[in-house]
Structure 1
Amino acid sequence: MEPDTLERGFYTDTDAEIRNADVPERFQLRTIPVKPAEESELELESEWIYKYCFVEPSISKQDAIEDLGSTFSSSTLSTLNRKPPSCVGKIQDTLNFMRNQQYEAPFISFYRKEYVEPELNIHDLFKIYHWDEKWTQMNVRKASVTRLMQKMQTFQYEQISADPDKPLGDNVRALTDADIERVQGIQTMEEYHDIYRHFLLHYGRDVPKMQNALRIQRQRERAENGLNPDEDAPSLASDLKQASRRHMYTVCLDAGIGGVANKFGLTPEQFGENLRDNYQRHETEQYPAEPMDLAEDFLCPQFSTKEAVLEGARYMVAMQLAREPLVRQCVRQTFNERAKISVQPTKKGKKEIDEGHPCFSYKWLQNKPVKDLSGPQFLHIKNAETENLVTMTIHIDMHGTVGSQTYFEEIKQLYYRDEFSHLVQEWNNQRSKVVEFMLQNIIYPEMTKELKTLLYDEAKNGIKEHCALKLRSYLSVAPYQLEEREYDEDEEEERKGTVVMAIAY
């Protein structure tokens, strides 16, 4: 038989393994496998799920189910909303059933209900199951990036130990234990991506060197143990030179522009703390020479003018600030709170979006806060944008208004020195350009993409939950009851005769 036919009929070897394994099929088909866990991990996971699944509010309004209020009782509606702190222990019991005893959500809901009710219902149990997958995936990635950082730290130590008298370069950032410990504090995938991007910015170009050093060390160890070093399969693959694209930051770094970037007065960590505390906790240090005079000492073939040198230095500083996890965390929090959406119909959309189109009521949106979006509204806008009917923009500042202060004007004061000399004003001008470039060209586009994905997922999950609740209302119906009535003697004899004939047949 054709492989497609076997797969369609569930006759493959994988299907046979799934049938023979004494594990729920849902657990086997999950992308991240369901693994047993210790009680300490379950305790941390239950608190994490309670915070981000049942307490943390969504950005858009997705918990409005008043249209189904006539279907469900008040107790059922209350359990669909925010949960009390007392359900943390019941979440832990649910995770114990799922991960250690291989029980599915329906089984727990019907046969272990005394451990989860009344705070949790079957709808919440499926939520816990899906968030357990997110927790496991996040822990796997945290362990992976921790191992990568530890290898890089060892590689840096070996390089420094090889020539201890050699001074460190201006742009060499030592990987400390605090950086590795910060990985253990990751709570969301956004924080993980922030830390990983920060690692790639400072150490990404050293990763191939580190891998090559580890390969040579493995071959040396195999040779010392009397084994053939050529049998190391990864080493053969690493001999091939992989194509790589040089990032603009790497070009500036190789050209020595980092010497100018280090003179802007604040480190990314200091600027992040200023942004977190919303005041100048760290005062900006002032370099004694003007920017143009300093740039003259760093002219090179790639940057042949002083303006080009300063532009490259501003780009380096902006990238360092934009990749600092604390800066991204502060900007993300403000961006999600103040984000506004504007929608404009295209030439095609003006013709096709009529009164019967889902986007008719909001095809001319202007500065609408995303927190006011409810239900599937963003999904309709996203679909209309895909069909080239509207253009959607998400921004943090008011568009088309006069006199409103922008977020850039608020935070540039935190990367500023309050003096009036010509030297300080020239450097303040450079610092303002750095902050503006960081926001407009790096962070805002990334935050917009993140927010669109988050809003899209919230709208889809909201529709799924409403469909599930509606289907449940159709299925949660009592059996049909026949009306009892009295029969006369002839009808009673006829009914009994029919029953006897049916039994005989």
Structure 2
Amino acid sequence: MVRNVVSDEEEDVELDEEENEPADAVEDDEEEDDEEGQDEYEKDDFIVDDVEEEPEEEGRADSDEERQRKKKRKKKREAEVLDEDDYELLRDNNVYPQRPKVDTKKFKRLKKARRDADDDRDGVFAEGDGSGKGGPEEKLSRTLFDDDEGQRFEDIAEEEEQMEEEEEVEVGEDDDMADFIVEEEELDEHGVPVRHKKVKKKKSRQSSGASSSALQEAHDIFGDVDELIKLRKQQGLDSNNEWRERRLEDEFEPSVLSEKYMTEKDEQVRLSDIPERMQISEESTSSPPTDEVLIDDESTWIYNQLASGATSLQGVTINKDDIVQFLELHHVQKLDVPFIATYRKEDCSSLLKDPGQLENDYDNQDNDQTPKLKWHKVVWAIQDLDRKWLLLQKRKSALHLYYEKRFDEESRRIYDETRLNLNHHLFKSIIKALEAAESEREVDDVDAKFNLHFPPGELGVDEGQYKRPKRRSQYSICNKAGLWEVASKFGPSAEQLGLTLSLLAMSSALEDAKETPEEMASNFTCAMFETPQAVLKGARHMAAVEISCEPYVRKHIRGVYMEHAVISTAPTPDGNTTIDSFHQFYGVKWLREKPMSEFKDAQWLLIQKAEEEKLLQVTFKLPEKRMELLVNECKELYCSDGVSKSAQLWNEQRQLIVQDALFGFLLPSMEKEARSLLTSKSKRWLLWEYGQGLWNKVSVGPYQRKESDPSDDDAAPRVMACCWGPGKPATTFVMLDSSGEVLDVLSTGSLTLRSQNVDDVQRKKNDQQRVLRFMMDHQPHVVILGAVNLSCTRLKEDMYEIIFKMVEDNPRDVGHDMDELSIVYGDESLPRLYENSRISSDQLPSQPGIVKRAVALGRYLQNPLAMVATLCGPEREILSWKLNPLESFLTPDEKYTMVEQVLVDVTSQVGLDINLAISHEWLFGPLQFISGLGPRKAASLQRSLVRAGAIFTRKDFVTTHSLGKKVFVNAVGFLRVRRSGREEEFYMISGETLETLSEGRIVQATVRRVLPGKAICVLESGLTGILTREDYDDDYRDIHELSERIHEGDVFTCRIKAIDMNRYQANVACKESELRNNRLSQQVQDLDPYYHEDTVNLHSDQEKARKEKELAKKHFKPRMIVHPRFQNITADEAVEVHTF
């Protein structure tokens, strides 16, 4: 069945259950009598007579006076009721007045009997949630469609409360056809006609802006939305049943909030008065140490790491005290790296040297006037080591707590005194080794030993649940069988062997047991190990595993292996076929016993990749002599010096244990560590190379004009950027002003045509003329051409032809700045990233891609740092910029960490002009790399600065823009706050420029007021002009008062004599001598030193030309001939004309 749709004109019908309204029973007697008669009617087959308004009961006791008083009160109430159109107009404006109750129950509409069924069918529209506040569709419409009116949950609630107080108006008198159709008479079981119940009409409460079709569509989609409405209302209520404010988390996806740095965590970072990058680092490392002892320990560790070659920095002499000073400044005073490198140089001078720069370069730099950018690699390396130290200490602390907890659990479970004492001794040695560990690998060794002797216990499993199958190692099986006692009889413990190998303890004489190994093993046979040989095998395995997990043993073996191990490579059958002399892996195809210490670059990464592709076979090994020395050393320290038969048998077992420990466990694990060490070392080298590539791109200065001073603030060039196009899109020119803003765009579809067709040649000439006019209109300082293919070389030649033609044909129209106009090539790799980035759509909306690319090309020439920093937003488009052929071996996080280091270093030395960035949004890119700031603090500061419009003093960062004291100290030294000078403010307020308003300019002035000795004028720019009596006329002595010559409203031409910028007024003169004086006009432009006017010869030449012209006119008689081809010339001239 198709559901009825309630339109704006239709009425909601709701049954009024009399038992739900007990208050009606105590109404006035007269009103009840009226309702009695109104609810009954007669049926005469077709037409029913009009319902009479007079009461039909005869026992009325009301007098005529009472009836008159009631009618007066009723008329008064009706007069207070607004028209329905008025209420509708108020609702459209979100005003909901309380409507007075009006008695309109006199007239009833007669319905057919089957309407009752329709009422049941449409009940969903009338019942709602039982609160009398309208149907759920109505509430849903308010939620879906009224939000654009700014209406919130609390507004809906208030509206419903107001609407609930309104009376449910029934059908009124305006329905002329209300009584035309009658319903079929209903009879009860006794045959008596059933009286119809009252029907009420609710005023339409449909939300403004939401039609009935929209409500029906919402109902079809969501169905019965009662539960949805209740759930939404419950979500909007807090525990006190009060409407709460909507949070961003309720409106947006977490990924969107994270991308825009709008989460609660980001807000905490913004509000905290600690440099942002420090906060992000401390989230993973915890708070750094501030105690002098801990700082000294860390500085010693960092110094040892630098000295051992843990970083890629070579040939650097570092003072340990400088490391201590750096850590105190960084951890205690919360100073960021750029601030320390710039303003605390004297505290850590040895850390500020560039490893790649020789000493004499520093001497030359001191003598050079031009400052050079420095990449503070050592400081960044120390900060990286500082982070590693903090993570190492955090892990050691966490493991220490876990070991103590696990040891207590194991001690409560063991009742054997011997085993308990052994565990206690093991635990003490483990804790001691943990405290002495100085690297992640050594901590891994300690953790492996602890897990061997104190394996993790099983978690509690509830009764009736299945247990997860547990893998049991051979060592644990032997240990549970009691073979640990046999293993302890073989010789020195693994710890003693490790201390002896590390020369931390002297070897003690080993006493052999009197009984043979098999005799002892026979005492420990069991169901799992039935023979003495099986027992000995299990005990040897336990001893070998314990030796391989001993931290001191592993440290000694690691040192030998990493120093002497050699690597060899050989191609597989597929590799031998694939790798030719031009292949990427050709350089590593055949390597023979190359020592690990000789791998200094990214060569290992190529070997690793080739091995993964199954093109190479890689082998690690120790040289035979070094391997023999290592094995003999271990056997000598582990075996006894006895010569008895029993001693020989025991030594045979010990030798097997050493062989098993070395070749079965230690050397294979050392190979894995060697691979990991080579990978980290190669990636570290590659990361510095990646950073060097980026440094070379961003450390270059903006393009400087040859005649400009690099220190001049106005030296930024006007750039015309050109991107070659194949036709679709066409070759495009974009003109940028000195601030990088787009002035004009020109597309030339035929400029690159090489066809000799007449039409193509003509179209190319037209495009050349358009480019010529484009350049003459905008007068660029430099043209940058994106280099993408060989067609760009021919395009460059065409551009030079246009420039030469422009200089030859229109030399006067070519400005002085274009005398040495040059065309340079530019790399389009970065502009193409900008073209496809989201930030380009925000900065250059509705512009085609090639225009965005050209804009980025020109801006990179003007400000390389700002253009690169623009692509360092949440999307990190900068990571797609290819800076090294092997950068695919680096993860995005590793690359972006290096990008941050480089850009922070460059930005701190270049600085950022805040007021300039406020006017030009794209210059805000480097703000996040300012010392102390980051993407979150920078975004907040940028919004605050844009709202303010300008900043005048650095104190405004604290007072107006809410920078904390520590962040302010870190950042303020790198933010340039350049207040507008008096001259710059004058021209900004007046709207004029030096070219349009300066001394010597001729302007129009309008008289506003005339005084006896001077006249007050207004120039076209709005400035006040002062015209004195002396400057009005050369014969000013004859003028007693200016009011005799000048009147208010007069307009005259005058010359500016002087400008008072403080008062925003100018002194003007209109006397003839001043207007003819050319001295002031020459001061407007910077003339060439060789400029000299030859006025004498000029006047004589002009006079001579005038006389010749007059003489030529005498040679011809004037003839009144009207013909298009007629020329009044001499005979000789006519011959010359007809010869061509």
Map of 1:143 onto structure 2: 397
Are 1:325 and 2:551 counterparts? yes
> Matched residues in 2 for 1:293 and 1:177: separation?
33
Over 3 Å counting, the alpha-carbon distance change for 1:16 and 1:279 in structure 2 is closer
> Matched residues in 1 for 2:656 and 2:303: separation?
42
Map of 2:646 onto structure 1: 423
Map of 1:8 onto structure 2: 259
Map of 2:586 onto structure 1: 360
> Matched residues in 2 for 1:243 and 1:96: separation?
52
Structure having the larger proportion of residues in helix: 1
> Matched residues in 2 for 1:16 and 1:242: separation?
44
> Matched residues in 2 for 1:281 and 1:446: separation?
26
Over 3 Å counting, the alpha-carbon distance change for 1:344 and 1:410 in structure 2 is farther
Are 1:132 and 2:386 counterparts? yes
> Matched residues in 2 for 1:277 and 1:132: separation?
30
2:545 and 2:661 in contact (8 A); partners too = yes
> Matched residues in 2 for 1:174 and 1:259: separation?
16
Code of the aligned partner of 2:332 = N
Over 3 Å counting, the alpha-carbon distance change for 1:336 and 1:277 in structure 2 is same
Q: 2:314 aligns to what SS in structure 1?
A: coil
Cα displacement (A) at 1:432:
0.9
1:257 and 1:312 in contact (8 A); partners too = yes
> Matched residues in 1 for 2:694 and 2:814: separation?
43
2:322 and 2:350 in contact (8 A); partners too = no
1:344 and 1:391 in contact (8 A); partners too = yes
Q: Deviations over 1:66-85 (max 9, x none)?
A: xxxxxxxxxxxxxx534435
Q: 1:483 aligns to what SS in structure 2?
A: coil
> Matched residues in 2 for 1:371 and 1:40: separation?
34
> Matched residues in 2 for 1:494 and 1:313: separation?
95
Q: Deviations over 1:152-204 (max 9, x none)?
A: 565677678xx7xx642399432465543443222222222222222222223
Q: 2:443 aligns to what SS in structure 1?
A: helix
Q: Deviations over 1:38-73 (max 9, x none)?
A: 222112111211111x20125xxx85xxxxxxxxxx
Identity within the alignment, % = 30
Equivalent position to 1:169, from 414, 419, 430: 419
Equivalent position to 1:56, from 293, 308, 320: 308
Code of the aligned partner of 1:464 = L
Deviates most, 169-178 or 144-153: 169-178
1:268 and 1:321 in contact (8 A); partners too = yes
Code of the aligned partner of 1:101 = Q
Map of 2:682 onto structure 1: 459
Map of 1:378 onto structure 2: 604
Over 3 Å counting, the alpha-carbon distance change for 1:117 and 1:242 in structure 2 is farther
Code of the aligned partner of 1:343 = T
> Matched residues in 1 for 2:470 and 2:627: separation?
44
1:397 and 1:407 in contact (8 A); partners too = no
Q: Report which of the two structures shows the higher radius of gyration computed on alpha carbons.
A: 2
Q: 2:423 aligns to what SS in structure 1?
A: coil
Cα displacement (A) at 1:341:
1.2
Over 3 Å counting, the alpha-carbon distance change for 1:156 and 1:306 in structure 2 is closer
- Give 1:163-202 correspondences, 5 Å limit: 167-169=417-419, 172-175=422-425, 177=428, 179-202=430-453
Map of 2:525 onto structure 1: 299
Cα displacement (A) at 1:118:
4.2
Map of 1:276 onto structure 2: 502
Equivalent position to 2:454, from 198, 203, 209: 203
Code of the aligned partner of 1:81 = Q
Over 3 Å counting, the alpha-carbon distance change for 1:251 and 1:404 in structure 2 is closer
Are 1:433 and 2:656 counterparts? yes
Code of the aligned partner of 2:666 = I
Q: 1:428 aligns to what SS in structure 2?
A: helix
Map of 2:102 onto structure 1: none
Code of the aligned partner of 2:399 = V
Q: 2:471 aligns to what SS in structure 1?
A: coil
Over 3 Å counting, the alpha-carbon distance change for 1:279 and 1:423 in structure 2 is farther
Code of the aligned partner of 2:398 = S
Q: Deviations over 1:307-349 (max 9, x none)?
A: 2211101001111111222111111111111111122222222
Stretches of structure 2 that go unaligned for 5 or more consecutive residues are: 1-251, 354-375, 709-810, 818-992, 999-1020, 1022-1140
> Matched residues in 1 for 2:389 and 2:627: separation?
41
Equivalent position to 1:81, from 309, 314, 324: 314
Deviates most, 301-310 or 115-124: 115-124
Code of the aligned partner of 1:338 = H
1:270 and 1:282 in contact (8 A); partners too = no
Map of 2:377 onto structure 1: 123
Are 1:446 and 2:678 counterparts? no
Over 3 Å counting, the alpha-carbon distance change for 1:170 and 1:135 in structure 2 is closer
2:510 and 2:640 in contact (8 A); partners too = yes
- Ranked by relative contact order (alpha carbons within 8 Å, sequence separation 6 or more), the top structure is 1
Cα displacement (A) at 1:19:
3.3
After superposition, the CA RMSD in angstroms is 3.6
Cα displacement (A) at 1:143:
1.8
2:567 and 2:594 in contact (8 A); partners too = yes
Q: 2:455 aligns to what SS in structure 1?
A: helix
Cα displacement (A) at 1:368:
1.8
Over 3 Å counting, the alpha-carbon distance change for 1:155 and 1:484 in structure 2 is closer
Cα displacement (A) at 1:279:
10
> Matched residues in 2 for 1:292 and 1:95: separation?
61
> Matched residues in 2 for 1:114 and 1:24: separation?
22
> Matched residues in 1 for 2:592 and 2:815: separation?
75
> Matched residues in 1 for 2:295 and 2:606: separation?
39
Map of 1:288 onto structure 2: 514
Over 3 Å counting, the alpha-carbon distance change for 1:351 and 1:34 in structure 2 is farther
Over 3 Å counting, the alpha-carbon distance change for 1:108 and 1:331 in structure 2 is same
TM (norm. structure 2) is: 0.36
Over 3 Å counting, the alpha-carbon distance change for 1:253 and 1:15 in structure 2 is same
Q: Deviations over 1:385-416 (max 9, x none)?
A: 12222122222244xx9x98363234222222
Q: Deviations over 1:93-120 (max 9, x none)?
A: 2222222233322232223333223433
Deviates most, 195-204 or 144-153: 144-153
Stretches of structure 1 that go unaligned for 5 or more consecutive residues are: 64-79, 213-234
Q: 1:343 aligns to what SS in structure 2?
A: strand
Q: 1:368 aligns to what SS in structure 2?
A: strand
Q: Deviations over 1:232-268 (max 9, x none)?
A: xxx99xx997764322111101111122212212222
Q: 2:335 aligns to what SS in structure 1?
A: coil
Cα displacement (A) at 1:34:
4.9
Are 1:107 and 2:360 counterparts? no
Map of 2:273 onto structure 1: 22
> Matched residues in 2 for 1:129 and 1:392: separation?
35
2:492 and 2:510 in contact (8 A); partners too = yes
Over 3 Å counting, the alpha-carbon distance change for 1:146 and 1:82 in structure 2 is farther
2:601 and 2:686 in contact (8 A); partners too = yes
Q: Deviations over 1:365-398 (max 9, x none)?
A: 2322111122111111111112222122222244
Code of the aligned partner of 2:683 = K
Aligned length: 446
